[in-house]
Amino acid sequence: ETEATDSLIRIMPESLANKIAAGEVVQRPASVVKELVENALDAGARQITVILKDAGKTLVQVIDDGCGMSPADARLCFQRHATSKIRTIEDLERIRTLGFRGEALASIAAVARVELKTKRAHDEAGYRVQIEGGRLIAAEPCATANGTSVAVRNLFYNVPARRNFLKTPATEFKHIVETFQVLALSHPEVGFTLMHDDVEIYRLVPETDPSPAERLRRRIGTLFGPEYALQTIPVEETTSYLSVRGFLGRPELHRKSRGEQFFFVNRRYVRHRYLEHAVTSSYEQLIPEGTHPFFVLFLELDPRHVDVNVHPTKAEVKFDDERGIYGVLRAIVRRALSMADLIPQLTAAP
């Protein structure tokens, strides 16, 4: 027997590998919204429209006015590990974009019917690519606006187990709204529209105030209600290691659930229990036990101090000095609360 036939191991066809990888990146319609909107933001979009049918099960479409792609890139972007965002391992250590794994479009296209239309401002015509279950159906010039539109239909049509695993439309829609809110919060200067079954759910104008804090305050107000814009305390502090800016809810805004706490690290939304505790514990005595404060905080630090590559959806990050950040963050939050006369001024040690 030759070596070749005496082998049980097979390299998977790419379509199978993509379908399996999709399981990590694409859990539900909200994951598609996240990946497509992040791509639009990375493309420098100023206006992003999200269109849904049946809570995204039938359609998730994201239209942006960003940089667009060449016809060659419009085909390439669906290949696994295809990215314009990093080229070397050093790039990964100074990552500034939301994406970099080059997996989202390949994964989504493996488990749905996808139509992409794209055009760069200096191109005369646009380009259209249609892919179903990872198979290229069409690629041809087309008429389209500057920017990119990606329509994802019948998510998981070829993965029945996944499709059946989806929750009720109300639950899937709730996940999408949460995802949308997070993305809209992270970029107040970008206009966002959310349409669901032809009903306009959000129309967020691009915030143009010259002050970033004011832009964020306004975006908070339009997303969560005017009381949120009023009952917040601004935070802005920079140390040699990190800068923190954003808003802390006044104690009146405390809630029973943790759902209104937003941490962004280098503009990427992350969940981080330990850092959340740094903020929440600063409200001790200010809010009833068992309730949670509202906050929107942006941490900026040298990307070398953060590892964003610990989770496929990048929902978790690791810092090289978590205890250090915890301490700094807590001090900054305590100071902001005391300046708002909510807690006694800290007296300096003699």
Closest residue (Cβ) to ligand ADP? 99
Among residues 303, 250, 255, 297, the alpha carbon closest in space to that of 272 is found at 297
Question: Residue 102, interface with ligand ADP (CB under 6 A)?
Answer: yes
Distance CA 229, CA 249 (A): 9
90: CB partners within 8 A, 6+ apart: none
Q: How far is the CB of 223 from Mg ion (least distance, A)?
A: 23
Interface pattern 76-95 for ligand ADP (x via CB under 6 A)? -x----xxxx----------
Question: Residue 313, interface with ligand ADP (CB under 6 A)?
Answer: no
| 126 binding partner (options ligand ADP, Mg ion, none; Cβ < 5 to 8 Å by kind) | none
3-state per-residue secondary structure call for 70-123: CHHHHHHCCCCCCCCCCCCHHHHHCCCCCCCCCCHHHHHHHCCEEEEEEECCCC
Question: Residue 69, interface with ligand ADP (CB under 6 A)?
Answer: yes
Rounded-to-10 torsion of CA 84, 90, 93, 99? 10
Closest residue (Cβ) to Mg ion? 99
Distance CA 71, CA 119 (A): 8
Tokens 């006015």, residue?
A: 65
Among residues 238, 221, 239, the alpha carbon closest in space to that of 296 is found at 221
Indicate the pairing of strand 295-301 with strand 261-265: parallel
Q: Which stretch binds Mg ion (CB under 5 A): 96-104, 215-223, 257-265, 266-274?
A: 96-104
| 83 binding partner (options ligand ADP, Mg ion, none; Cβ < 5 to 8 Å by kind) | ligand ADP
Q: How far is the CB of 109 from Mg ion (least distance, A)?
A: 12
Under rule CB under 6 A, which residues in 201-260 are in contact with ligand ADP?
A: none
Question: By C-beta, is 68 or 126 nearer to ligand ADP?
Answer: 68
Among 67, 182, 201, 342, binds ligand ADP (CB under 6 A): 67
| 144 binding partner (options Mg ion, ligand ADP, none; Cβ < 5 to 8 Å by kind) | none
Q: How far is the CB of 197 from ligand ADP (least distance, A)?
A: 24
Residue 90 sits at the vertex; the CA angle it makes with 88 and 92, to the nearest 5 degrees, is 80
308: CB partners within 8 A, 6+ apart: 95, 265, 268, 314, 317
Interface pattern 100-119 for Mg ion (x via CB under 5 A)? ----x---------------
Q: How far is the CB of 227 from ligand ADP (least distance, A)?
A: 35
Among 28, 32, 100, 183, binds ligand ADP (CB under 6 A): 100
Tokens 């990427």, residue?
A: 268
Question: Residue 39, interface with Mg ion (CB under 5 A)?
Answer: yes
Q: How far is the CB of 307 from ligand ADP (least distance, A)?
A: 16
Q: What's the sign of the alpha-carbon dihedral 210, 215, 217, 218?
A: positive
Quick check: helix, strand or coil at residue 136?
strand
User: Where along the sequence are the contacts to Mg ion (CB under 5 A)?
Assistant: 39, 99, 104
User: Where along the sequence are the contacts to ligand ADP (CB under 6 A)?
Assistant: 35, 39-40, 43, 64, 66-69, 77, 82-85, 99-106, 148
